C-alpha cells in the first residue's frame, strides 16, 4: 500500500464501500494497524469485517489452545481437528483471516500484552480487547492513553444473548458536512476506569440495566480472581450478594439489576452467533469510523439484548466529559 493513491486493484475491490465512505477514507483505512486481543466469536466477526474493509494490518493476540468449545461461535475455526490441533486461537484465526483479503497483513503476537511497554502500543491505531480481566483492561487502556498519538481503545464482551461494547477515543476531533457547510466536532472520552467509576446515582435515570449487570459480574470476577467468562450460574448467590453490596454503596435500588437478567447472563456463558454478528458488525463500523475520521463515533457504551432486540448507546461519563 505504497503511495498516496489507491491502487486500481483496491478501487475495484472496494468499489461498493468506497461509495459509502469515499476514497479518502479508504486510503486511511489501508494505512491503519489494528491490535486485537481475545479471539472469541464476536472478535472473529469483527476481524472479518475490518479485513474485508481493507485495513493495513491486523495483529492477533490469544495464546489459548483451540478446543472444541472454541468452535462454538467462531467461524474462523473450521471443525477439522487437523486444522487446529495444538495451535493457539490466534494462529488458527490468523490463517483463516488471511484468506479473506490478500491485501491485508494479518499476524500473530504472543505473550501477555498487558505487560508490554507503551512503545508496543504505539504501532497501532486501534486496540480491541476481549476476554480480559478488569485489571488488564484498565492497564492496557492506560498505556494507550499515555501515547502522544491517539490509539483508539475498545472492549467487547458477549454473554449469551447480550453484548457490551466500550469505546475510548480520548480527545476526538473530526469534521462533517451538515447541509452545505463543514462543521468541526469534538468529543472527549473518559477512560474505561473513569467511566466505570462514575457513581451509579450520578448516571441518567434510564441507563440500561445491562450496564449495571455487567459491572456486577465484572467486579465479582475481579474480586474472586476468576478468568473472564468463567462465572456461571453456580455463582449466582455470590453474585447476588455482591449486587446487594454494590447497590447499597451506590444508593441504587436492587431492582435496577433484575435477578432474571443476572441469571440469564450467568447461564448463557457461551456466545450466541447472531449476537456475535451484530456486535462484531457494530464494532467494525465504529473502528472504521474512528480510523477514517468519517461519521459520528458512538460514545461510549453500546448494548444489545436479543431478548428485547434493542441496540442502544449509553453515555457513561463524568460531568467533565459528559456530552
Site for other proteins in 74-133 (CB under 8 A): 75, 78-79
**Is residue 313 close enough to count as binding other proteins by CB under 8 A?**
yes
**Is residue 307 close enough to count as binding other proteins by CB under 8 A?**
yes
- Judged by CB under 8 A, how many residues of this single chain contact other proteins? 72
Please, are residues 270 and 73 in contact by the beta-carbon 8 Å criterion?
yes
Burial environment of residue 208 by CB neighbours within 10 A (0 to 12, 13 to 18, 19 or more):
buried
- CA nearest to 154, candidates 142, 141, 163: 141
Which residue number, 136 or 286, has a Cβ lying nearer to other proteins?
A: 286
**Is residue 11 close enough to count as binding other proteins by CB under 8 A?**
yes
User: What's the farthest any 2 CA atoms get from each other in the chain?
Assistant: 61
Q: Pick from 49, 57, 130, 300 the residue near other proteins by CB under 8 A.
A: 49
Q: How far is the CB of 225 from other proteins (least distance, A)?
A: 25
**Is residue 17 close enough to count as binding other proteins by CB under 8 A?**
yes
Which residue number, 94 or 275, has a Cβ lying nearer to other proteins?
A: 275
Which residue number, 238 or 274, has a Cβ lying nearer to other proteins?
A: 274
Q: Which stretch binds other proteins (CB under 8 A): 42-50, 87-95, 114-122, 186-194?
A: 42-50
Q: How far is the CB of 78 from other proteins (least distance, A)?
A: 7
Q: Rounded distance, CA 136 to CA 10, Å?
A: 37
Q: How far is the CB of 230 from other proteins (least distance, A)?
A: 15
- Which residues inside 145-174 make contact with other proteins, applying CB under 8 A? 160-161
Q: Rounded distance, CA 88 to CA 238, Å?
A: 33
Q: How far is the CB of 200 from other proteins (least distance, A)?
A: 17
**Is residue 230 close enough to count as binding other proteins by CB under 8 A?**
no
Q: Pick from 28, 48, 136, 215 the residue near other proteins by CB under 8 A.
A: 48
CA angle 281, 65, 222 (to 5 degrees): 70
- Which residues inside 171-210 make contact with other proteins, applying CB under 8 A? 176-179, 206, 208-209
**Is residue 258 close enough to count as binding other proteins by CB under 8 A?**
yes
Which residue number, 74 or 141, has a Cβ lying nearer to other proteins?
A: 74
CA angle 67, 73, 78 (to 5 degrees): 60
Q: Pick from 314, 316, 317, 321 the residue near other proteins by CB under 8 A.
A: 314
- Which residues inside 277-296 make contact with other proteins, applying CB under 8 A? 277-278, 280-282, 284-285, 288, 294-296
Q: Rounded distance, CA 323 to CA 320, Å?
A: 9
Q: How far is the CB of 233 from other proteins (least distance, A)?
A: 7
Q: How far is the CB of 222 from other proteins (least distance, A)?
A: 24
Q: Which stretch binds other proteins (CB under 8 A): 11-19, 109-117, 123-131, 212-220?
A: 11-19
Amino acid at each position: 500500500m505504497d503511495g498516496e493513491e489507491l491502487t486500481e486493484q483496491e478501487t475495484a475491490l472496494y468499489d461498493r464501500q468506497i461509495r459509502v465512505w469515499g476514497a479518502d477514507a479508504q486510503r486511511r483505512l489501508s494505512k491503519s494497524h489494528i491490535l486485537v486481543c481475545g479471539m472469541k466469536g464476536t472478535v472473529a466477526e469483527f476481524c472479518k469485517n475490518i479485513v474485508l474493509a481493507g485495513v493495513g494490518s491486523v495483529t492477533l493476540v490469544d495464546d489459548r489452545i483451540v478446543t472444541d468449545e472454541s468452535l462454538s461461535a467462531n467461524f474462523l475455526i473450521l471443525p477439522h481437528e487437523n486444522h487446529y490441533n495444538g495451535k493457539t486461537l490466534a494462529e488458527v484465526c490468523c490463517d483463516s483471516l488471511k484468506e479473506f483479503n490478500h491485501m491485508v497483513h494479518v499476524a500473530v503476537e504472543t505473550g501477555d500484552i498487558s505487560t508490554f511497554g507503551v512503545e508496543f502500543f504505539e504501532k497501532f491505531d486501534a486496540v480491541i480487547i476481549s476476554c480480559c480481566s478488569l485489571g488488564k483492561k484498565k492497564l492496557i487502556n492506560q498505556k494507550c492513553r499515555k501515547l502522544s498519538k491517539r490509539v483508539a481503545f475498545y472492549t467487547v464482551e458477549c454473554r449469551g444473548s447480550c453484548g457490551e461494547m466500550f469505546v475510548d477515543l480520548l480527545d476526538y476531533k473530526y469534521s462533517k458536512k451538515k447541509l452545505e457547510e463543514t462543521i468541526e466536532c469534538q468529543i472527549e472520552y473518559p477512560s474505561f476506569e473513569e467511566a466505570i467509576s462514575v457513581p451509579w446515582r450520578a448516571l441518567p435515570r434510564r441507563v440500561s440495566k445491562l450496564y449495571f449487570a455487567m459491572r456486577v459480574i465484572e467486579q465479582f470476577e475481579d474480586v474472586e480472581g476468576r478468568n473472564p467468562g468463567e462465572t456461571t450460574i453456580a455463582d449466582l448467590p455470590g453474585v447476588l450478594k455482591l449486587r446487594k453490596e454494590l447497590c447499597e454503596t451506590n444508593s441504587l435500588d436492587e431492582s435496577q439489576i433484575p435477578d432474571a437478567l443476572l441469571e440469564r447472563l450467568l447461564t448463557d456463558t457461551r456466545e450466541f452467533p447472531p449476537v456475535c454478528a451484530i456486535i462484531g458488525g457494530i464494532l467494525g463500523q465504529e473502528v472504521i469510523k474512528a480510523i477514517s475520521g468519517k461519521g459520528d463515533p458512538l460514545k461510549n457504551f453500546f448494548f444489545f439484548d436479543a431478548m428485547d432486540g434493542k441496540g442502544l448507546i449509553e453515555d457513561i461519563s463524568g460531568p467533565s466529559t459528559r456530552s
